[in-house]
Structure 1
Amino acid sequence: MATTKWAIDPTHSQIGFKVKHMMFTNVSGMFGTYDATIETEGDNFENASIEFSAEINSISTNNADRDNHLKSGDFFDAENNPKLTFKATSFTKNGGDYELSGDLSFRGVTKSVKLSAEFSGLMKDPWGNTKAGLNISGKINRKDWGLTWNSALETGGVLVGEEVKLNIELQLLKS
């Protein structure tokens, strides 16, 4: 079977995350500049080859001061570590959906992660392009990658949670 190449449709995709702030609300953010290389056997996504990168300087939480702090040495250190990368080691069926495993790297640290992937299927858009939809979700501990900055709260607890929830909505375009 022939190899099929897919590209991310950036106008219909979002690379998002959420982190607890002050231990009771979530702050959401996303990366605005990213790229991926995705290859499948035909239209079958099982065992797909997936490589992804995001520009740290494209991080946005709708607050310039917070974004600049996230880009600083306290967090991602964008000056010395400009990209976040992910390389899949497996993409396997898990019931009706998939499990995506791979190596996530940022701030000079690489760790293996397992993420859930919901495959939404294939569809042709009104212009005849074949599209595929994936929703990828999971959780990581930011401290595992050296993002350890925090501030104690006067009432107890900390300003920034350790757990980061990933929510990635991808619309892929068949090349």
Structure 2
Amino acid sequence: MATTKWAIDPTHSEIGFKVKHMMFSNVSGKFGTFTAEATTEDDNFENAQFDFSADVDSVNTGNTDRDNHLKTVDFFGTEEHGKITFKSTSFKKNSDEDYTLIGDLTIKGTTKPVTLAVEFGGIAKDPWGNTKAGFSATGKLNRKDFGLTWNAALETGGVLVSEEVKLVIDVQFVKQ
């Protein structure tokens, strides 16, 4: 059976996350350096395989002090665990645009299954003749499941950083 390889277009893709700060506002961040590829049966993305890797040192929340803290052993521990990886185990079509992506996510040396809701934007040729496919994915995880346990108690009760992390992913793939 013929397969088609797709490579991520990093200039038109964003791998982001949101986490509640002080229990009432969101802080957003993203990874600036990442790679991903998809393997499909022809142009049909049903049952596609996805592989992803992000350079944890490229984390950017718009605040250098916070980014540097995220790189320490309190959170990602980039010296020992420089990459976040994802390998899909299932990509199922629910409707023409809605899919469910399940895979193994590895953060800080811990691998756990995660489920993402994926919206397939479609396939089109760009003005230079490249065939592209677009996806938006969302999901959530508990950061403590991956050993990211640092926190601080607030005087008013609650904690500084939520355990729940929302994933917000928008990607374009280029047919190879």
Q: TM-score range by the shorter chain?
A: over 0.9
* Contact 2:37 2:173 survives alignment (8 Å): no
Residues 50-69 of structure 1: pairs in structure 2 closer than 5 A: 50-69=50-69
Give the ranges of 4+ consecutive aligned residues of structure 1 lying more than 2 Å apart after TM superposition.
none
Q: Which moved more, 1:81-90 or 1:91-100?
A: 91-100
| Counterpart residue type for residue 161 of structure 2 | V
Please state how far the C-alpha of 1:37 moved relative to its aligned partner.
Answer: 2.2
Deviations 1:107-141 (A, max 9, x none): 11000111111000001111111110000110100
| Counterpart residue type for residue 99 of structure 1 | T
Structure 2 match to 1:80 = 80
* Distance of 1:54 and 1:42 partners within structure 2: 26
Deviations 1:9-35 (A, max 9, x none): 111100000000000000000001111
Deviations 1:123-174 (A, max 9, x none): 1111111110000110100010011100001111110001100010001111
* Contact 2:75 2:149 survives alignment (8 Å): yes
Q: State whether structure 2 residue 46 is matched by structure 1 residue 46.
A: yes
* Distance of 1:162 and 1:94 partners within structure 2: 29
Identity of aligned residues (%): 67
* Unpaired stretches in structure 1, ≥5 consecutive residues: none
Count of residue pairs the alignment pairs up: 175
| Counterpart residue type for residue 76 of structure 1 | F
* Unpaired stretches in structure 2, ≥5 consecutive residues: none
Please state how far the C-alpha of 1:2 moved relative to its aligned partner.
Answer: 2.1
